[in-house]
Amino acid sequence: MFQALIDATRSQFQGRMLGLVLWPLVGSLLLWTVLLILFWSQGMAALRSFAEYQPVDAFLNEWGISWIVGALTLIVIFLFLPTLVAATAIFITSVFAMPVMVEHIARTEYPELARGRFGSTWGSVANSLGALLVYLVLWVIALPLWLIVPFAFLIPIALAGYLNDRVFRYDALAEHATAEEYQEILRRHGSPLFGLGVVAALIQLIPIVNLISPVYSGLGFIHFALGELRRLRAERPGALLMPRG
Determine the Cα–Cα distance for residues 17 and 100; give it in Å rounded to an integer. Answer: 9
Band of the pLDDT at 232, cuts 50, 70, 90? Answer: very high
Q: What is the pLDDT of residue 35?
A: 85
What are the strands, taking DSSP E only, across the chain? none
Q: Phi first, then psi: what are they for 113, rounded to 5°?
A: -80, 115
- Alpha carbon of 27 to those of 31, 76, 109, 215: distances in Å? 6, 20, 29, 13
Instruction: Answer yes or no: is pLDDT of 64 > 80.
Output: no
Q: What is the pLDDT of residue 208?
A: 84
pLDDT digit string (tens) for 102-129?
A: 999 999 999 999 999 899 999 999 999 9
pTM of the predicted structure, to 2 decimals: 0.83
User: What amino acid occupies position 108?
Assistant: T
Exposure b/e, 58-95, CB count within 10 A at least 16 = b:
eeeeeeeeeeebeeeeeebeeebeebbebbbbbbbbbb
Band of the pLDDT at 142, cuts 50, 70, 90? Answer: confident
Q: Give the residue among 82, 97, 88, 86 at the shortest CA–CA distance from 221.
A: 97
**% the chain with pLDDT above 90:** 52
**% the chain with pLDDT above 70:** 83
Q: What is the pLDDT of residue 3?
A: 92
Q: What is the pLDDT of residue 48?
A: 67
Mean pLDDT, residues 6-13: 91
Instruction: Answer yes or no: is pLDDT of 146 > 90.
Output: no
Name every residue whose Cβ is closer than 8 Å to that of residue 50 and which is 6 or more positions away in sequence: 56
CB–CB of 127/201 below 8 Å?
no
Name every residue whose Cβ is closer than 8 Å to that of residue 89 and which is 6 or more positions away in sequence: 24, 25, 27, 28, 214
Band of the pLDDT at 205, cuts 50, 70, 90? Answer: confident
Selected residue with higher pLDDT from 173 and 151: 173
Instruction: Answer yes or no: is pLDDT of 27 > 50.
Output: yes
Instruction: Answer yes or no: is pLDDT of 169 > 90.
Output: yes
Q: What is the pLDDT of residue 65?
A: 57
Determine the Cα–Cα distance for residues 79 and 73; give it in Å rounded to an integer. Answer: 10
Q: What is the pLDDT of residue 242?
A: 46
Q: What is the pLDDT of residue 243?
A: 44
